[in-house]
Amino acid sequence: MERSDEPELMFANDADDMRRPGKGIDPRAMISDLSNEPIKHALQRIELMDEVQKTLLEEFEPETWEEYRNSITTILREKSRALSTASRFIGGIYVNRSTPEQKSDLSPYEVAPLELQIKAINLIKKYGFSDDAFYIQPEIMKVIQKERRGFDFYGEKEDFHYHEEVLDIQQNVLNHLLHPDVLSRMIDSSLYGEHYPLEVMFNDLTEAIFDTSNKEISGIKRNLQIDYTKRLLDILKARYHDEISASAALKELRKIEKLSKKSSTDLSLKNHREYLYWLIDKSINNN
């Protein structure tokens, strides 16, 4: 223990890990990162999965269509793990369990470096929330058929519900970033020194999730925008979140409300914006 503050001897156990949204505080104690540079490793995994998907139909010769389906499932799972790993750095606190008598140069608690938190949010914005983050070729969607055995599919969905799978990944990231404990920790981290302000994170998320142009947006992006808006409304109620987080949520909701009033000739975008406005109006303006 007397050498526990040496980088080569750094350790954590299952009680410290951050595998579940809101659990733990030290992003270095995370499962599935397999690296001393977790954000870099996460980026490499996502880029690798994108390359695999691009050449899947040309280079893979399966015996059944289900093998394509399994491949897409694996690609999505790896992306989800990478995004989760990166998300833990936002609002993260490094933990040093050395004792006072060791006279370590490390403090028991240190805010995760701002540089790494910015890298993490930028990775999430580009590979988790951007328009083409989860693009899938139509040619692949047509062949990811599950092999039927006996009475398989009875009471189940046979086709691959890609929108649901992607939204589940995005929700898992937001479950952590907007967790009450994470937001409270971000507020407290301002007392440690250099930090990633909570209000800046909210603004970054809104800018990544919402496009201010009038161009058509995908069903994947619409699902994400609705989910994010509902989360902000829930934070605003301050049932589990603090008032500072609630005030930040209100600021973003007003931005979304203003955007939702913009007219559009695209029917799907028009319907989507009307729904967003209705969600906000009935929750805020009618109370």
Domain presence at residue 167: no
Q: Do 107 and 8 fall into the same domain?
A: yes
Highest mean pLDDT among 2-16, 67-81, 105-119: 67-81
Averaged pLDDT, 75-86: 96
CA 253 to chain centre: 19
Domain presence at residue 224: yes
Residue 135 has pLDDT above 80, yes or no: yes
User: 3-state secondary structure string, 15-41?
Assistant: CCCCCCCCCCCCCCCCCCCCCCCHHHH
Q: Do 206 and 259 fall into the same domain?
A: yes
Q: Do 62 and 145 fall into the same domain?
A: yes
Contact 78, 45 (CB under 8 A): yes
Q: Do 122 and 238 fall into the same domain?
A: no
How many domains would you assign to the chain? 2
pLDDT digits (tens, 9 = 90+) for 204-214: 999 999 987 76
Using CA atoms, how far apart are residues 119 and 125, in angstroms rounded to an integer? 10
Q: Do 65 and 142 fall into the same domain?
A: yes
pLDDT digits (tens, 9 = 90+) for 43-70: 999 999 999 999 999 988 888 999 999 9
Residue 85 has pLDDT above 60, yes or no: yes
Q: Do 155 and 70 fall into the same domain?
A: yes
Q: Which of 101, 135, 161 is the last residue of a domain?
A: 161
Which residues constitute the domain of residue 252?
178-287
Q: Provide the pLDDT for residue 25.
A: 84
Residue 95 has pLDDT above 90, yes or no: no
Averaged pLDDT, 124-144: 95
Q: Is the dihedral of CA 46, 47, 48, 51 positive or negative?
A: positive
Using CA atoms, how far apart are residues 55 and 52, in angstroms rounded to an integer? 6
96-100, long-range: CB < 8 A, 24+ apart: 96/5, 97/4, 98/1, 98/4, 98/5, 99/1
Q: Which of 126, 161, 196 is the last residue of a domain?
A: 161
Closest CA to 186 of 93, 90, 91: 91
Q: Do 25 and 145 fall into the same domain?
A: yes
Q: Do 4 and 123 fall into the same domain?
A: yes
Domain presence at residue 246: yes
Residue 137 has pLDDT above 80, yes or no: yes
pLDDT digits (tens, 9 = 90+) for 239-285: 889 999 999 999 999 999 999 999 888 899 999 999 999 999 999 87
User: pTM of the predicted model, to two decimals?
Assistant: 0.92
Count helices and strands (H / E) in the chain.
Answer: 11, 2
Q: Do 123 and 244 fall into the same domain?
A: no
Residue 151 has pLDDT above 70, yes or no: no
Q: Do 81 and 198 fall into the same domain?
A: no
Q: Provide the pLDDT for residue 279.
A: 97
Q: Which of 96, 127, 161 is the last residue of a domain?
A: 161
Task: Look at 157 and 138; give whichever has higher pLDDT.
Answer: 138
Q: Do 85 and 14 fall into the same domain?
A: yes
pLDDT digits (tens, 9 = 90+) for 171-223: 999 999 999 999 999 999 999 878 999 999 999 999 999 987 767 889 999 99
Domain presence at residue 111: yes
Using CA atoms, how far apart are residues 12 and 29, in angstroms rounded to an integer? 6
Using CA atoms, how far apart are residues 248 and 255, in angstroms rounded to an integer? 11
Q: Do 140 and 185 fall into the same domain?
A: no
SS3 (DSSP) at 195: coil
